[in-house]
A and B are shown apart, each in its own frame.
Chain A
Amino acid sequence: MTPRYDAIVVGGGHNGLVTAAYLARAGKKTLVLERRDLVGGAAVTEEVFPGFKFSVFSYVVSLLRPEIIRDLDLPRHGLQILPLESTVTPLDNGDYLAGWADPDETRRELCRHSPRDADASAVFGRLMHHMAMAVRPILGMVPPDPTSLSPGDLVGLLKLGGHFRSLGAERFHALHKLMTMSSADYLDEWFEFGPLKATKSASGIIGTFLGPRSPGSAYVLLHHYMGELDGAFRAWGFQKGGTGGISESIAGAARAHGVTIRTGAAVERVIVRNNRATGVVLEGGEEISAKIVISGLDPRLTFTKLVESRELPADLVEAVRRFKFRGSSGKVNLALAGLPNFTCMPGEGPHLRGAISISPSVEYLERAYDDAKYGEFSRHPYMDIVIPSMIDPNMAPPGKHVMSVFVQYAPYDLNGGWTDAKREAFGDAVIDTVSRYAPNLKSLILHRQVLTPLDIERMTGLSEGNIFQGELALQQLFFLRPLPQWSNYRTPIEGYWQCGAGTHPGGGIMGASGRLAAMEILRSGS
């Protein structure tokens, strides 16, 4: 009996959709199965309260690979990225630190706080540009296994070695520092103004269970500059209609290439016969056969839920057990009757069309981390706030607004576990902290949605609510992501593949994992 599909993708997150679109583009008959009623995974837009639309989880786009935009012609399918131009950090003394779209304006603002930092910022920006250039090819390659002697891996290793050598000693060393240092230490080498260091280092802790002083947090600093490098594509900003629009555009491209997408179709397990995946069984018992099955879910679900552990080598099961998720962030979505009034920049202004970063000092962020280390949510968390309705008026009824508050830290393993009461207490801590900087906030709130890592896990399936499908820590990157020897999108089960953010390079709405997985599948002749 011939299988009904060439390929089934389990999970309609953005990576799964990317994989499906690329496979269909190559002529494969492809089915995407999504448990929820809408595609997108953590990149969805939902009208949580009537008239108020939210990018419920992921809320900005910065790293979506330009080649995916080109290959899938996403703008034709609805991709439209609106600029998110500024970052404003309210300070505890009533002042603020702003970064604007215009470099001269930003320089002038920085000079107000530290002329030396203004100088350093320009030099730093150029170094980050180089670092992003250095990393970009790595994001686009299947990680070679440095422990393997297979010709393919050796060629990959030589290429990688050649790439590092081509960087020259100075940039290679700079990259090494960026990969191993803490963001606070790294920034200390460049800057003196605390809130600047804090705001920059905040990007190093997003989605990780690390503090700004934890080694390994520096390299995520690069992400911001990666987005800038691809700035010609305006890949840094806010998707029209919310993040779900990105998923919809990829789904649109996939459908145009012939992909079948079924929502409300939860996969119970992958059928494995003689160490070969032959299809899936849906909850409810329906069986669908396919030549290959690709999991867009995270490594824990891919290896321990969709298939039986006994189908897998013991060391792999052990490695999956050691793979760290540790969701550390939450989200508060607010429907507002009007605009918040920030004490540091009263009234309406351009700052409300950008991000507001609650990161007054490195110590503030570090103490927020300390709370989480011992199993509590941060009493005064780091927050990244945007008001999408200021960028896209279609997000809220006229005159009303939606506010998205990304919050860290909220540990998945809360002492005593998450309860409804604790969720609300967490929400209160967030609102109270924002209100220190925007006192009218409370009076504006029409509705609020508080999402803990546990909620994120329940709603999206992401294990422990980790938004990157697994911590972006050095020991879980590149050829170690998700597991040593299985970073090439394959699994020990033939015809069973992985394409989620838990694989290299992972993290953010990047799509690179999904694309690399598809390329590897097509290359293997599956």
Chain B
Amino acid sequence: MLKTTPFHTRTSALVRAQTWRRWAGYQMASAYDPHPDREYAAIRNSAALIDVSPLYKYRITGRDAMRLLDRTITRDMTKLKPGQVYYTPWCDGEGKVVDDGTVTRLDETSYRLTSADSSLRWLHLNAAGMEVRIEDISERAGALSLQGPLSRTILTTVSPADLTALKYFRYVDTTIRDIPVGLSRTGYTGDLGYEIWVDAERAVALWDALMEAGKPYGLTPAGVWALDIARIEAGLIMMDIDYFSSHHALTEQRKSSPYEINLGWAVSAGKGPFNGRRALAAERIRGAAWNFVGLEIEWDSFERLFTAQGLPPQIPNVAWRTSVPLYDAGRQIGYATSGCWSPLLKKSLALAHLRTPYAVPGTSVGIEITVEHQRRRASATVSKLPFFDPERKKA
């Protein structure tokens, strides 16, 4: 039996097309509607409610909690203030990314780490010789992501928190209709949005409260498919899709440093010792061999491939997650790892690993497209990430 999240009794009733998938051992909705477009549209137009409970969550407390996190992640923990959230990767000793996630400083001495993969063993290995308590609260806590332009408006009707004061990547303990929750202004959509953390026992009540409050504002439950399109538009990477955790990679070539997956900004060069510090310092001097970029597929070259076969261009309504080779003339220079048709930008987008010399915005590369059982190439242009970055995200 797969696990189900604390919201399962509510979400399962809404999955009309039985479109289920696995996410970290949980049974999750790919989409609620038979056709997922409406769910995506809600993220960009009104608000969407997404069950993100399968994220792994850890509560870290104790004398050395800050030291543990500081030696683990690449950002400088000494600068994280109470009520602040970091998005950060963390590395192994060779400076290869193990996972990425968020660290929230809940109060002076306690922290919450979220991660894509289970991190208990890694945290304990890192905590050797330290006085720290690591609690896996993954199953005790439910998590909902409320994303979209109207998300703040909806929350205002149910929460006493001063939401105008809650800035981007900030956190506050508050209530929603008297249900104690943790509220962070974070998300995986690149839009205005919040993530809400709740005790599993109160999860269903929270769902109901939000759905009811959101009704007048078009709040729509959204599944993983819609989320996937939004996160590609936002240029956000996904572990084991866009990069392999160094703990999962079967070969050295499959591992990536933060610099190679566009997370160099999250490596704090001047901070104290942390995993991979030496290797990353060396890489900074050497320069990363690979870069992670956005690609916009050039429409005309794309359409021509279909026209040649007497077909209209085919655009999937869900994101793809297969590795696709990229070329400069005849030579392979990289690979795209996920992509989608952006219903908002009206462009075909991809996230890609490119050898550094090609990673300059504006560079034109060839991307493999299979049309009518034949491998062809379309042109694509290297683009800065994110593809979509509305002002409301941080406003």
Contacts and interface: CB of A to CB of B under 8 A. Distances in A.
Contacts of B247: 123, 126
Contact of B22 (A104, A120, A130): A104
Nearest to A190: B121
A118 B118 CA distance: 9
A115 B25 CA distance: 14
Given A104-B25, A105-B2, A119 B248 contact: no
A274 to B, nearest CB: 55
Interface string B18-32: 000010010000000
A108 interface: yes
Nearest to A104: B25
B1 interface: yes
Interface string B90-129: 0000000000000000000000000000111110100000
B25 A119 contact: no
A127 B1 CA distance: 27
A116 interface: yes
Contacts of A262: none
A121 B121 CA distance: 10
A107 B25 contact: yes
Contacts of B119: 119
A116 B120 CA distance: 6
Given A107-B25, A126-B250, A119 B120 contact: yes
Interface string A117-135: 0111011001001100000
A408 to B, nearest CB: 31
B120 A115 contact: yes
B1 A123 contact: no
B278 interface: no
B275 to A, nearest CB: 16
B121 A120 contact: yes
B250 A119 contact: no
A120 B120 CA distance: 9
Interface string A96-111: 0000000011011000
B284 interface: no
Contact of A116 (B1, B25, B121): B121
Given A104-B22, A115-B136, A126 B120 contact: no
B167 interface: no
A505 B247 CA distance: 31
A129 B119 CA distance: 21
A126 B248 contact: yes
A104 B136 contact: no
Nearest to B251: A130
A108 B3 contact: yes
A419 B3 CA distance: 53
B2 A119 contact: no
Contacts of A120: 121
Contacts of B2: 104-105, 108
Interface in A437-482: none
Nearest to B24: A104
Contact of B118 (A105, A119, A126, A129): A119
Interface in B1-25: 1-3, 22, 25
A120 B121 CA distance: 6
B207 to A, nearest CB: 23
Contacts of A130: 250
A344 to B, nearest CB: 17
Contacts of B250: 126, 129-130
Contacts of A116: 120-121, 124
A332 to B, nearest CB: 33
A171 to B, nearest CB: 11
Contacts of A119: 118-122
A119 B121 CA distance: 6
B121 A108 contact: no
28 contacts: A104-B3, A104-B22, A104-B25, A105-B1, A105-B2, A107-B25, A108-B1, A108-B2, A108-B3, A115-B118, A115-B120, A115-B136, A116-B120, A116-B121, A116-B124, A118-B118, A118-B120, A119-B119, A119-B120, A119-B121, A119-B122, A120-B121, A122-B118, A123-B247, A126-B247, A126-B248, A126-B250, A129-B250
Given A107-B25, A108-B1, A120-B121, 15 more contacts: A104-B2, A104-B3, A104-B25, A105-B1, A108-B25, A115-B118, A116-B120, A116-B121, A116-B124, A118-B118, A118-B120, A119-B119, A119-B122, A122-B118, A126-B247
Interface of B: 1-3, 22, 25, 118-122, 124, 136, 247-248, 250
User: 8 closest A-B pairs (Cβ-Cβ)?
Assistant: A119-B121, A104-B25, A119-B120, A119-B118, A120-B121, A116-B120, A115-B120, A115-B136
